Amino acid sequence: MKDDFLELLAPALQRLQCGFSGLPEAQLQPPGMTEAAAVLAEAAERLRDNYPYYHPLYAGQMLKPPHPVARAAYALAMLLNPNNHALDGGRASSRMEVEAVRQIAEMFGWREFLGHLTSGGTLANLEALWVAGLTAPGKAVAASEQAHYTHSRISAVLKLPYTSIGTDERGRMDLKALETELASGTVGTVVATLGTTAGGAVDPLDGILSLRERYGFRVHVDAAYGGYFRLVSNLGEEAQRAFDRIGEADSIVVDPHKHGLQPYGCGCVLFRDPGVGRFYKHDSPCTYFTSNELHLGEISLECSRAGASAVALWATERLLPLVRGGAFARGLEQGREAALRLHERVAEEARFVSAPVPELDILVWAVRARTTGESSRRAQEVFDRAAAEGLHLALAQLPARYFPSAGWTDAGADTRVMCLRSVLMKPEHLAWADEIWQRVQRAVAF
Protein backbone atom coordinates (compact mmCIF):
# COMPACT_ATOMS: atom_id res chain seq x y z
CA MET A 1 0.00 0.00 0.00
CA LYS A 2 1.42 3.36 -1.01
CA ASP A 3 1.42 5.73 1.94
CA ASP A 4 1.39 9.47 1.15
CA PHE A 5 1.72 10.44 4.80
CA LEU A 6 5.40 11.37 4.88
CA GLU A 7 5.24 13.14 1.51
CA LEU A 8 2.48 15.35 2.88
CA LEU A 9 4.12 15.91 6.24
CA ALA A 10 7.66 16.93 5.32
CA PRO A 11 6.98 20.25 3.48
CA ALA A 12 4.25 21.24 5.93
CA LEU A 13 6.56 20.62 8.88
CA GLN A 14 9.25 22.77 7.28
CA ARG A 15 6.73 25.60 6.77
CA LEU A 16 5.60 25.37 10.40
CA GLN A 17 9.15 25.48 11.72
CA CYS A 18 9.85 28.60 9.63
CA GLY A 19 7.19 30.35 11.69
CA PHE A 20 9.47 30.14 14.72
CA SER A 21 12.75 30.88 12.93
CA GLY A 22 13.23 34.14 14.88
CA LEU A 23 13.81 32.28 18.12
CA PRO A 24 17.35 31.78 19.41
CA GLU A 25 18.70 28.29 18.78
CA ALA A 26 17.89 25.83 21.55
CA GLN A 27 19.61 22.49 21.76
CA LEU A 28 16.83 20.14 22.74
CA GLN A 29 18.16 16.83 23.94
CA PRO A 30 15.40 14.31 24.63
CA PRO A 31 16.81 11.32 26.52
CA GLY A 32 17.28 8.00 24.80
CA MET A 33 17.48 9.23 21.20
CA THR A 34 20.41 6.96 20.33
CA GLU A 35 18.22 3.92 21.04
CA ALA A 36 15.00 5.38 19.60
CA ALA A 37 15.28 3.81 16.14
CA ALA A 38 15.72 0.34 17.62
CA VAL A 39 12.71 0.83 19.90
CA LEU A 40 10.56 1.95 16.97
CA ALA A 41 11.65 -1.07 14.96
CA GLU A 42 10.59 -3.27 17.88
CA ALA A 43 7.27 -1.44 18.10
CA ALA A 44 6.71 -1.99 14.36
CA GLU A 45 7.36 -5.69 14.83
CA ARG A 46 4.91 -5.87 17.72
CA LEU A 47 2.23 -4.00 15.74
CA ARG A 48 2.34 -6.68 13.05
CA ASP A 49 0.33 -8.78 15.51
CA ASN A 50 -2.85 -7.02 14.39
CA TYR A 51 -5.54 -7.30 11.79
CA PRO A 52 -4.91 -5.25 8.62
CA TYR A 53 -7.52 -2.65 9.53
CA TYR A 54 -6.65 -0.40 6.58
CA HIS A 55 -7.22 -3.09 3.92
CA PRO A 56 -10.58 -3.75 2.18
CA LEU A 57 -10.34 -7.40 3.24
CA TYR A 58 -10.73 -6.20 6.79
CA ALA A 59 -14.52 -6.05 6.90
CA GLY A 60 -15.09 -6.69 10.57
CA GLN A 61 -15.36 -4.03 13.26
CA MET A 62 -15.80 -0.25 12.95
CA LEU A 63 -12.25 0.55 11.96
CA LYS A 64 -11.68 2.96 9.11
CA PRO A 65 -8.19 4.24 8.25
CA PRO A 66 -7.65 7.95 8.87
CA HIS A 67 -7.14 10.00 5.73
CA PRO A 68 -3.44 10.69 5.01
CA VAL A 69 -4.08 14.41 5.42
CA ALA A 70 -5.54 13.78 8.88
CA ARG A 71 -2.52 11.74 9.93
CA ALA A 72 -0.14 14.34 8.52
CA ALA A 73 -1.99 17.24 10.17
CA TYR A 74 -2.05 15.41 13.51
CA ALA A 75 1.68 14.72 13.32
CA LEU A 76 2.33 18.30 12.23
CA ALA A 77 0.49 19.66 15.27
CA MET A 78 2.47 17.34 17.54
CA LEU A 79 5.55 19.49 17.04
CA LEU A 80 3.73 21.89 19.37
CA ASN A 81 1.46 19.39 21.16
CA PRO A 82 -1.31 21.97 21.72
CA ASN A 83 -3.88 21.60 24.49
CA ASN A 84 -7.32 22.87 23.52
CA HIS A 85 -8.49 23.41 27.07
CA ALA A 86 -7.47 27.07 27.08
CA LEU A 87 -6.22 29.51 24.48
CA ASP A 88 -2.83 29.68 26.23
CA GLY A 89 -2.30 26.03 25.32
CA GLY A 90 -3.75 26.03 21.83
CA ARG A 91 -4.57 29.34 20.21
CA ALA A 92 -4.58 28.27 16.57
CA SER A 93 -5.84 24.73 17.24
CA SER A 94 -8.73 26.04 19.38
CA ARG A 95 -9.90 28.28 16.55
CA MET A 96 -9.53 25.38 14.13
CA GLU A 97 -11.70 23.28 16.46
CA VAL A 98 -14.41 25.93 16.47
CA GLU A 99 -14.37 26.01 12.66
CA ALA A 100 -14.36 22.23 12.30
CA VAL A 101 -17.21 21.76 14.79
CA ARG A 102 -19.21 24.48 13.04
CA GLN A 103 -19.02 22.50 9.79
CA ILE A 104 -20.37 19.40 11.55
CA ALA A 105 -23.20 21.43 13.09
CA GLU A 106 -24.07 22.94 9.71
CA MET A 107 -24.30 19.41 8.32
CA PHE A 108 -27.31 19.04 10.65
CA GLY A 109 -28.69 22.46 9.74
CA TRP A 110 -27.55 24.20 12.95
CA ARG A 111 -26.05 27.68 12.87
CA GLU A 112 -26.73 28.65 16.49
CA PHE A 113 -25.48 25.92 18.82
CA LEU A 114 -22.96 24.95 21.48
CA GLY A 115 -20.46 22.21 20.74
CA HIS A 116 -16.92 20.95 20.90
CA LEU A 117 -14.74 17.92 20.30
CA THR A 118 -14.21 15.20 22.89
CA SER A 119 -11.89 12.24 23.28
CA GLY A 120 -14.61 9.97 21.90
CA GLY A 121 -18.28 9.12 21.77
CA THR A 122 -18.46 7.94 25.37
CA LEU A 123 -17.44 11.34 26.75
CA ALA A 124 -19.63 13.09 24.19
CA ASN A 125 -22.68 11.05 25.25
CA LEU A 126 -21.82 11.59 28.90
CA GLU A 127 -21.94 15.36 28.40
CA ALA A 128 -25.23 15.12 26.53
CA LEU A 129 -26.86 13.02 29.27
CA TRP A 130 -25.31 15.18 32.00
CA VAL A 131 -27.00 18.25 30.51
CA ALA A 132 -30.20 16.24 30.04
CA GLY A 133 -30.17 15.23 33.70
CA LEU A 134 -29.71 18.83 34.82
CA THR A 135 -32.57 19.87 32.54
CA ALA A 136 -34.94 17.20 33.87
CA PRO A 137 -33.67 16.30 37.35
CA GLY A 138 -34.55 12.83 38.59
CA LYS A 139 -36.23 11.75 35.37
CA ALA A 140 -35.22 8.64 33.48
CA VAL A 141 -33.18 8.17 30.33
CA ALA A 142 -34.83 5.82 27.82
CA ALA A 143 -32.94 4.11 24.99
CA SER A 144 -33.56 1.05 22.87
CA GLU A 145 -32.27 -2.37 23.83
CA GLN A 146 -29.91 -2.10 20.85
CA ALA A 147 -28.53 1.30 21.95
CA HIS A 148 -24.87 1.35 22.91
CA TYR A 149 -24.27 0.02 26.42
CA THR A 150 -22.57 3.29 27.29
CA HIS A 151 -25.96 4.95 27.86
CA SER A 152 -26.98 2.66 30.70
CA ARG A 153 -23.49 2.88 32.20
CA ILE A 154 -23.37 6.69 31.92
CA SER A 155 -26.85 6.93 33.45
CA ALA A 156 -25.59 4.90 36.41
CA VAL A 157 -22.57 7.19 36.79
CA LEU A 158 -24.85 10.24 36.70
CA LYS A 159 -27.32 8.52 39.04
CA LEU A 160 -30.14 8.89 36.54
CA PRO A 161 -32.85 6.21 36.24
CA TYR A 162 -32.52 4.23 33.01
CA THR A 163 -35.05 2.21 31.05
CA SER A 164 -34.47 -0.05 28.06
CA ILE A 165 -37.08 0.02 25.30
CA GLY A 166 -37.78 -3.02 23.16
CA THR A 167 -37.07 -3.12 19.44
CA ASP A 168 -38.88 -4.22 16.33
CA GLU A 169 -37.75 -7.04 14.02
CA ARG A 170 -35.19 -4.69 12.42
CA GLY A 171 -33.51 -3.64 15.64
CA ARG A 172 -35.15 -0.20 15.82
CA MET A 173 -36.82 1.31 18.88
CA ASP A 174 -40.42 0.11 19.18
CA LEU A 175 -42.59 3.24 19.31
CA LYS A 176 -45.49 1.49 21.03
CA ALA A 177 -43.19 0.22 23.78
CA LEU A 178 -41.72 3.71 24.08
CA GLU A 179 -45.15 5.32 24.40
CA THR A 180 -46.12 2.88 27.14
CA GLU A 181 -43.05 4.00 29.09
CA LEU A 182 -43.69 7.68 28.35
CA ALA A 183 -47.25 7.39 29.69
CA SER A 184 -45.79 6.77 33.15
CA GLY A 185 -44.48 10.34 33.20
CA THR A 186 -41.06 9.23 34.45
CA VAL A 187 -38.99 9.72 31.25
CA GLY A 188 -37.09 12.97 30.81
CA THR A 189 -34.81 12.03 27.90
CA VAL A 190 -35.15 9.66 24.97
CA VAL A 191 -31.98 8.55 23.19
CA ALA A 192 -32.55 7.90 19.49
CA THR A 193 -29.75 5.87 17.95
CA LEU A 194 -29.06 6.62 14.30
CA GLY A 195 -26.81 3.68 13.52
CA THR A 196 -26.69 0.98 16.21
CA THR A 197 -23.27 -0.55 16.61
CA ALA A 198 -24.44 -4.16 16.27
CA GLY A 199 -26.57 -3.95 13.15
CA GLY A 200 -26.62 -0.37 11.94
CA ALA A 201 -30.31 0.09 12.74
CA VAL A 202 -31.76 3.60 12.57
CA ASP A 203 -34.35 4.43 15.23
CA PRO A 204 -37.55 6.10 13.90
CA LEU A 205 -36.62 9.64 14.92
CA ASP A 206 -39.62 11.11 13.14
CA GLY A 207 -41.94 9.02 15.29
CA ILE A 208 -40.00 9.85 18.46
CA LEU A 209 -40.30 13.55 17.70
CA SER A 210 -44.05 13.16 17.22
CA LEU A 211 -44.26 11.58 20.67
CA ARG A 212 -42.28 14.50 22.10
CA GLU A 213 -45.07 16.84 21.03
CA ARG A 214 -47.50 14.88 23.21
CA TYR A 215 -45.37 13.90 26.20
CA GLY A 216 -42.68 16.57 26.40
CA PHE A 217 -39.18 15.14 26.85
CA ARG A 218 -35.66 15.85 25.71
CA VAL A 219 -34.40 14.07 22.56
CA HIS A 220 -30.74 13.13 22.35
CA VAL A 221 -29.54 11.60 19.08
CA ASP A 222 -26.63 9.22 19.40
CA ALA A 223 -25.29 9.38 15.86
CA ALA A 224 -21.76 8.44 16.89
CA TYR A 225 -21.71 5.88 14.11
CA GLY A 226 -24.27 7.11 11.61
CA GLY A 227 -24.19 10.90 11.84
CA TYR A 228 -22.32 11.53 8.61
CA PHE A 229 -24.99 9.61 6.65
CA ARG A 230 -26.95 12.85 6.79
CA LEU A 231 -24.97 13.66 3.60
CA VAL A 232 -25.75 10.59 1.49
CA SER A 233 -28.33 10.16 -1.24
CA ASN A 234 -28.93 6.39 -1.19
CA LEU A 235 -30.64 5.73 2.13
CA GLY A 236 -33.89 3.83 2.37
CA GLU A 237 -37.09 5.80 2.83
CA GLU A 238 -37.48 5.23 6.58
CA ALA A 239 -33.85 5.95 7.43
CA GLN A 240 -33.99 9.06 5.26
CA ARG A 241 -36.98 10.35 7.23
CA ALA A 242 -34.99 9.98 10.45
CA PHE A 243 -31.93 11.79 9.12
CA ASP A 244 -34.09 14.53 7.60
CA ARG A 245 -35.27 15.48 11.10
CA ILE A 246 -32.05 15.11 13.06
CA GLY A 247 -31.79 18.88 13.38
CA GLU A 248 -34.88 18.88 15.63
CA ALA A 249 -33.03 17.00 18.38
CA ASP A 250 -31.88 18.77 21.53
CA SER A 251 -28.39 17.27 21.33
CA ILE A 252 -26.40 15.20 18.86
CA VAL A 253 -23.25 13.12 19.17
CA VAL A 254 -21.16 12.13 16.16
CA ASP A 255 -17.72 10.49 16.08
CA PRO A 256 -15.30 11.84 13.47
CA HIS A 257 -13.03 8.91 14.33
CA LYS A 258 -15.57 6.54 12.81
CA HIS A 259 -16.76 7.76 9.39
CA GLY A 260 -15.01 11.12 9.59
CA LEU A 261 -11.59 9.73 8.56
CA GLN A 262 -9.93 10.76 11.85
CA PRO A 263 -7.45 9.06 14.17
CA TYR A 264 -8.74 7.87 17.54
CA GLY A 265 -9.95 9.55 19.63
CA CYS A 266 -12.17 12.25 18.23
CA GLY A 267 -15.81 12.62 19.21
CA CYS A 268 -18.14 15.61 18.98
CA VAL A 269 -21.11 16.76 21.07
CA LEU A 270 -23.54 19.43 19.91
CA PHE A 271 -26.40 21.20 21.72
CA ARG A 272 -29.15 23.02 19.83
CA ASP A 273 -29.57 25.52 22.68
CA PRO A 274 -26.35 27.49 23.31
CA GLY A 275 -27.81 28.42 26.70
CA VAL A 276 -26.82 25.02 28.13
CA GLY A 277 -23.36 26.55 28.46
CA ARG A 278 -24.55 27.80 31.86
CA PHE A 279 -24.21 24.27 33.21
CA TYR A 280 -20.49 24.27 32.46
CA LYS A 281 -19.76 27.54 34.29
CA HIS A 282 -16.79 27.23 36.63
CA ASP A 283 -13.84 29.23 37.91
CA SER A 284 -10.15 28.62 37.32
CA PRO A 285 -7.44 30.55 39.20
CA CYS A 286 -4.99 30.55 36.30
CA THR A 287 -6.45 29.39 33.01
CA TYR A 288 -8.83 31.81 31.35
CA PHE A 289 -7.40 35.29 31.94
CA THR A 290 -5.20 35.84 28.90
CA SER A 291 -8.08 36.38 26.48
CA ASN A 292 -11.69 37.54 26.58
CA GLU A 293 -12.48 35.02 23.83
CA LEU A 294 -14.24 31.78 24.63
CA HIS A 295 -11.91 29.10 25.95
CA LEU A 296 -13.11 25.63 24.97
CA GLY A 297 -12.47 24.39 28.50
CA GLU A 298 -15.35 26.64 29.59
CA ILE A 299 -17.86 24.51 27.65
CA SER A 300 -16.34 21.06 28.16
CA LEU A 301 -16.29 18.57 31.02
CA GLU A 302 -12.87 17.40 29.90
CA CYS A 303 -9.92 19.61 30.75
CA SER A 304 -6.81 18.76 28.71
CA ARG A 305 -7.75 17.75 25.17
CA ALA A 306 -5.52 17.05 22.19
CA GLY A 307 -5.37 20.09 19.93
CA ALA A 308 -3.86 17.81 17.32
CA SER A 309 -7.27 16.13 16.93
CA ALA A 310 -8.82 19.47 16.02
CA VAL A 311 -6.05 20.25 13.52
CA ALA A 312 -6.50 16.86 11.86
CA LEU A 313 -10.27 17.26 11.60
CA TRP A 314 -9.99 20.83 10.33
CA ALA A 315 -7.53 19.78 7.60
CA THR A 316 -9.74 16.88 6.52
CA GLU A 317 -12.82 19.06 6.27
CA ARG A 318 -10.88 21.66 4.29
CA LEU A 319 -9.88 18.95 1.83
CA LEU A 320 -13.21 17.09 1.84
CA PRO A 321 -16.04 19.46 2.80
CA LEU A 322 -19.13 18.00 4.46
CA VAL A 323 -21.53 18.61 1.57
CA ARG A 324 -24.01 16.45 -0.29
CA GLY A 325 -22.60 15.17 -3.56
CA GLY A 326 -19.01 15.83 -2.52
CA ALA A 327 -16.16 13.33 -2.47
CA PHE A 328 -16.62 12.64 1.25
CA ALA A 329 -20.34 11.92 0.83
CA ARG A 330 -19.68 9.68 -2.18
CA GLY A 331 -17.35 7.57 -0.08
CA LEU A 332 -20.14 6.92 2.40
CA GLU A 333 -22.52 6.05 -0.42
CA GLN A 334 -20.05 3.51 -1.78
CA GLY A 335 -19.85 1.77 1.59
CA ARG A 336 -23.62 1.53 1.77
CA GLU A 337 -23.79 0.24 -1.80
CA ALA A 338 -21.26 -2.45 -0.89
CA ALA A 339 -23.46 -3.55 2.03
CA LEU A 340 -26.53 -3.70 -0.19
CA ARG A 341 -24.69 -5.69 -2.85
CA LEU A 342 -23.43 -8.27 -0.37
CA HIS A 343 -26.84 -8.45 1.31
CA GLU A 344 -28.32 -9.52 -2.05
CA ARG A 345 -25.70 -12.27 -2.33
CA VAL A 346 -26.39 -13.49 1.21
CA ALA A 347 -30.16 -13.53 0.58
CA GLU A 348 -29.63 -15.76 -2.46
CA GLU A 349 -27.29 -18.19 -0.65
CA ALA A 350 -29.17 -21.18 0.78
CA ARG A 351 -26.54 -21.78 3.47
CA PHE A 352 -27.17 -18.37 5.04
CA VAL A 353 -30.10 -16.58 6.64
CA SER A 354 -30.19 -12.89 5.89
CA ALA A 355 -31.27 -10.18 8.30
CA PRO A 356 -33.36 -7.23 7.05
CA VAL A 357 -31.86 -4.97 4.39
CA PRO A 358 -29.02 -2.87 5.87
CA GLU A 359 -30.04 0.68 6.72
CA LEU A 360 -26.46 1.99 6.64
CA ASP A 361 -23.31 0.04 5.78
CA ILE A 362 -23.43 -2.75 8.38
CA LEU A 363 -24.38 -6.20 7.15
CA VAL A 364 -25.54 -8.97 9.51
CA TRP A 365 -26.37 -12.56 8.62
CA ALA A 366 -26.63 -16.00 10.21
CA VAL A 367 -25.64 -19.49 9.13
CA ARG A 368 -28.57 -21.76 8.33
CA ALA A 369 -28.90 -24.65 10.76
CA ARG A 370 -31.55 -26.58 12.69
CA THR A 371 -31.01 -24.76 16.01
CA THR A 372 -29.63 -21.44 17.16
CA GLY A 373 -26.87 -23.28 19.00
CA GLU A 374 -25.74 -25.04 15.85
CA SER A 375 -26.04 -21.83 13.86
CA SER A 376 -23.88 -19.99 16.40
CA ARG A 377 -21.25 -22.71 16.30
CA ARG A 378 -21.13 -22.62 12.51
CA ALA A 379 -20.89 -18.83 12.50
CA GLN A 380 -17.74 -19.13 14.61
CA GLU A 381 -16.37 -21.67 12.14
CA VAL A 382 -17.08 -19.41 9.17
CA PHE A 383 -15.43 -16.53 11.02
CA ASP A 384 -12.30 -18.62 11.59
CA ARG A 385 -12.24 -20.03 8.05
CA ALA A 386 -12.69 -16.58 6.54
CA ALA A 387 -9.72 -15.32 8.54
CA ALA A 388 -7.67 -18.19 7.14
CA GLU A 389 -8.72 -16.94 3.69
CA GLY A 390 -7.43 -13.46 4.57
CA LEU A 391 -10.95 -12.04 5.07
CA HIS A 392 -11.59 -10.60 8.51
CA LEU A 393 -15.24 -10.44 9.60
CA ALA A 394 -16.82 -9.87 13.01
CA LEU A 395 -19.30 -11.72 15.21
CA ALA A 396 -22.35 -10.33 17.01
CA GLN A 397 -25.04 -11.79 19.25
CA LEU A 398 -28.50 -10.67 18.17
CA PRO A 399 -32.08 -11.69 18.98
CA ALA A 400 -33.14 -14.72 16.93
CA ARG A 401 -36.40 -12.92 16.05
CA TYR A 402 -34.39 -10.66 13.72
CA PHE A 403 -34.23 -13.73 11.42
CA PRO A 404 -37.88 -14.76 10.95
CA SER A 405 -37.11 -17.09 8.02
CA ALA A 406 -34.47 -19.11 9.87
CA GLY A 407 -36.82 -21.84 11.13
CA TRP A 408 -34.72 -22.60 14.24
CA THR A 409 -36.46 -25.21 16.38
CA ASP A 410 -35.25 -23.75 19.68
CA ALA A 411 -35.85 -20.04 19.03
CA GLY A 412 -37.89 -18.43 21.82
CA ALA A 413 -38.81 -14.80 22.45
CA ASP A 414 -35.52 -14.08 24.24
CA THR A 415 -33.21 -16.42 22.33
CA ARG A 416 -30.04 -14.88 20.95
CA VAL A 417 -27.88 -16.23 18.16
CA MET A 418 -24.28 -15.62 17.14
CA CYS A 419 -24.25 -13.94 13.73
CA LEU A 420 -21.67 -12.90 11.22
CA ARG A 421 -21.29 -9.15 10.92
CA SER A 422 -19.46 -7.01 8.41
CA VAL A 423 -18.90 -3.25 8.63
CA LEU A 424 -18.33 -2.09 5.06
CA MET A 425 -17.31 1.46 5.87
CA LYS A 426 -14.39 1.85 3.46
CA PRO A 427 -15.25 3.23 0.00
CA GLU A 428 -12.97 0.55 -1.43
CA HIS A 429 -15.30 -2.14 -0.11
CA LEU A 430 -17.55 -1.59 -3.14
CA ALA A 431 -14.81 -2.51 -5.61
CA TRP A 432 -13.85 -5.48 -3.42
CA ALA A 433 -17.39 -6.79 -2.91
CA ASP A 434 -16.99 -9.70 -5.35
CA GLU A 435 -13.66 -10.73 -3.85
CA ILE A 436 -15.13 -10.58 -0.35
CA TRP A 437 -18.07 -12.74 -1.40
CA GLN A 438 -15.84 -15.34 -3.03
CA ARG A 439 -13.89 -15.71 0.20
CA VAL A 440 -17.09 -15.93 2.24
CA GLN A 441 -18.27 -18.77 0.00
CA ARG A 442 -15.03 -20.65 0.45
CA ALA A 443 -15.31 -20.16 4.22
CA VAL A 444 -18.83 -21.63 4.35
CA ALA A 445 -17.98 -24.70 2.28
CA PHE A 446 -18.23 -27.30 5.03
Q: How far apart are CA 308 and CA 9, in angstroms?
A: 14
Strand order in the sheet with 416-423: 352-354, 362-367, 416-423, 394-399
pLDDT of residue 281: 79
Q: How far apart are CA 352 and CA 270, in angstroms?
A: 41
Q: Are 401 and 359 in contact (CB under 8 A)?
A: no
Return the CATH number of the domain spanning residue range 91-319.
3.40.640.10
The total of other beta-carbon atoms located within 10 Å of residue 179's CB is: 15
Domain-by-domain residue ranges, the chain?
91-319, 327-443
pLDDT of residue 293: 60
Q: How far apart are CA 220 and CA 253, in angstroms?
A: 8
Class of domain 327-443: alpha beta
pLDDT of residue 286: 46
The total of other beta-carbon atoms located within 10 Å of residue 237's CB is: 6
pLDDT tens series, the chain, 446 aa? 677 888 999 999 999 999 998 989 888 888 999 999 999 999 999 999 999 999 999 999 999 999 999 999 999 999 999 999 888 889 999 999 999 999 999 999 999 999 999 999 999 999 999 999 999 999 999 999 999 999 999 999 999 999 999 999 999 999 999 999 999 999 999 999 999 999 999 999 999 999 999 999 999 999 999 999 999 999 999 999 999 999 999 999 999 999 999 999 999 999 999 999 999 876 655 454 455 566 788 889 998 999 999 999 999 999 999 999 999 999 999 999 999 999 999 999 999 999 999 999 999 999 999 999 999 999 999 999 999 999 999 999 999 999 999 999 998 888 999 999 999 999 999 999 999 999 999 999 86
Which residues on neighbouring strands pair with residue 187, listed in sequence order? Answer: 140
* Angle, CA of 299, 305 and 309, to the nearest 5°: 110
Nearest CA to 365 out of 396, 408, 331 is that of 396
Q: How far apart are CA 369 and CA 398, in angstroms?
A: 16
- Residue 322, phi-psi category: left (phi > 0), alpha (psi -120 to 50), beta (remainder): beta
The total of other beta-carbon atoms located within 10 Å of residue 414's CB is: 8
Three-state DSSP at 422 gives strand
pLDDT of residue 156: 97
Which residues on neighbouring strands pair with residue 252, listed in sequence order? Answer: 221, 270
pLDDT of residue 289: 46
Q: How far apart are CA 318 and CA 326, in angstroms?
A: 12
| Domains 91-319 and 327-443 agree in fold | no
The values of phi and psi at residue 396, to 5°, are -150, 145
